[in-house]
């Protein structure tokens, strides 16, 4: 006798499933596809007590559109990134690294007399 299991409303041979795991993957994607098609909940939880429920109900769009900090954060990011990049490029140049190593070597010599 062959072992049979009911899988997604069909009788499926277990040995065939073990030989071809692609069938299992297809069935799982069908199940999760149905879950994602359902969309957001029609009625939000009154007291979201799980972390994911709190994230799902957080009004991010409201905060982004109505608070000044989001706008100015993007502006300051656009202005400061090129400046920080140039400072980092200058600080990590081979000439500056050699100069820094020489300064540290002299400082170590002074301490050891």
The answer to whether residue 90 is domain-embedded is yes
Return d(Cα 94, Cα 51) in angstroms, integer. 48
Domain that holds residue 108: 58-113
Return d(Cα 104, Cα 110) in angstroms, integer. 10
The answer to whether residue 46 is domain-embedded is no
The answer to whether residue 50 is domain-embedded is no
The answer to whether residue 66 is domain-embedded is yes
Q: How many domains does the chain have?
A: 1
| pLDDT (tens digit per residue) in 63-72 | 888 999 988 9
Mean pLDDT of the 12-25 span: 72
If one compares 20 and 46, the residue with the highest pLDDT of the two is: 46
The answer to whether residue 9 is domain-embedded is no
| pLDDT (tens digit per residue) in 23-61 | 777 777 776 666 556 666 677 778 888 898 888 888 888
The answer to whether residue 34 is domain-embedded is no
The answer to whether residue 53 is domain-embedded is no
The answer to whether residue 24 is domain-embedded is no
Rounded to two decimals, what is the model's pTM? 0.43
| pLDDT (tens digit per residue) in 91-108 | 999 999 999 999 999 999
**Which pLDDT value is given to residue 33?**
66
């Amino acid at each position: 006798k062959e072992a049979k299991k009911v899988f997604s409303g069909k009788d499926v041979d277990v040995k065939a499933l073990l030989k071809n795991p692609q069938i299992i993957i297809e069935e799982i994607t069908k199940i999760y596809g149905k879950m994602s098609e359902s969309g957001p909940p029609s009625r939000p939880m009154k007291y979201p007590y799980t972390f994911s429920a709190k994230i799902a109900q957080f009004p991010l769009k409201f905060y982004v559109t109505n608070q000044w900090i989001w706008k100015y954060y993007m502006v300051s990011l656009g202005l400061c990134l090129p400046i920080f990049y140039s400072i980092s490029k200058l600080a990590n140049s081979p000439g500056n690294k050699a100069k820094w190593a020489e300064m540290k070597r002299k400082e170590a010599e002074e301490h050891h007399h």
